[in-house]
Each structure stands twice: as structure tokens, then as C-alpha cells.
């Protein structure tokens, strides 16, 4: 797994970095897709399988989200030499670097829910 880059940053740069992170990972589906792929890392994860397992996502939305995750180097798309052609999706090493961040968010979110009960 890649080591995060440590840099001195101004408040403005830090806010821009947070905004970039939220833009890349935000929305209803991206983290759900990534967590699914991470939890099934040793399996073949075809488009249809992901759509079936990520409850409620449409084919159009899944296609859009996978494309954006691929553009941002978080997911790989591999066309298999089968008939009919199938496409397999998997997390990249860079994509896996997101999970310590999401675990921190999970911890914070659970604590927050408990606090505001």
C-alpha cells in the first residue's frame, strides 16, 4: 500500500484537498462499490455481479461510477477473453489506500450517532 504524501499545507490548500477528496469519493454509490470490491477482492467481480450485490444501483449509474473510479485510478477494468465478453473490476493498490480513511469516518460516524441520540 502506498504511503501518504506528507506536506506542509496552508489552510486553503488543506480545504482544497478535502474538497477534492469529497468530490472523488462522495455521493451515494462510490464508497458502496469500493467496499463491495474490497470485501470480494479474491473473486471475479463482473458488472452484473456488482449491480446485483450493490442493492438499488441502476446499470447506468453503476457504469458512470465505475468509469469515474477508473479515471481516478481507484479501480481497474479488465476485459476478459470470454464469449460473451465479460469485464472484471478490482480495487487498485491506490484504491485500497482509501480504506484507512473510511474506517476513521466509520468510527467518527458511530460516535456521532451515539452522541446525538
State the pTM of this model: 0.84
- Residue-range definition of the domain harbouring residue 41: 28-115
Task: Read off the pLDDT of residues 45-86 as tens digits, 9 standing for 90 and up.
Answer: 999 999 999 999 999 999 999 999 999 999 999 999 999 999
DSSP string covering 76-117, please?
EEEEES-SS-EEEEEE-HHHHTTHHHHHHHHHHHHHHHHHT-
Residue 52 lies in a domain: yes
How many domains is the chain partitioned into structurally? Answer: 1
First to last CA, the chain: 37
* Percent helix, strand and coil across the chain, each to the nearest 5: 55, 10, 30
**Is residue 18 in some structural domain?**
no
Residue 32 and residue 8: Cα distance in Å, rounded?
32
How far apart CA 41 and CA 28 sit, in angstroms, is 21
Q: Within a domain: residue 17? A: no
- The domain that holds 32 is classified in CATH as 1.10.10.10
Amino acid at each position: 500500500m502506498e504511503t501518504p504524501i506528507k506536506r506542509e499545507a496552508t489552510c486553503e490548500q488543506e480545504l482544497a484537498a478535502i474538497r477534492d477528496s469529497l468530490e472523488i469519493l462522495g455521493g451515494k454509490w462510490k464508497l458502496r462499490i469500493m467496499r463491495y470490491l474490497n470485501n470480494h477482492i479474491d473473486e471475479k467481480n463482473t458488472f452484473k455481479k456488482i449491480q446485483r450485490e450493490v442493492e438499488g444501483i441502476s446499470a447506468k449509474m453503476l457504469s458512470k461510477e465505475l468509469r469515474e473510479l477508473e479515471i481516478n485510478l481507484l479501480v481497474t477494468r479488465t476485459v476478459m477473453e470470454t464469449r460473451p465478453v465479460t469485464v472484471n473490476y478490482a480495487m487498485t493498490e491506490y484504491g485500497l489506500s482509501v480504506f484507512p480513511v473510511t474506517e476513521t469516518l466509520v468510527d467518527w460516524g458511530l460516535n456521532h450517532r451515539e452522541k446525538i441520540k
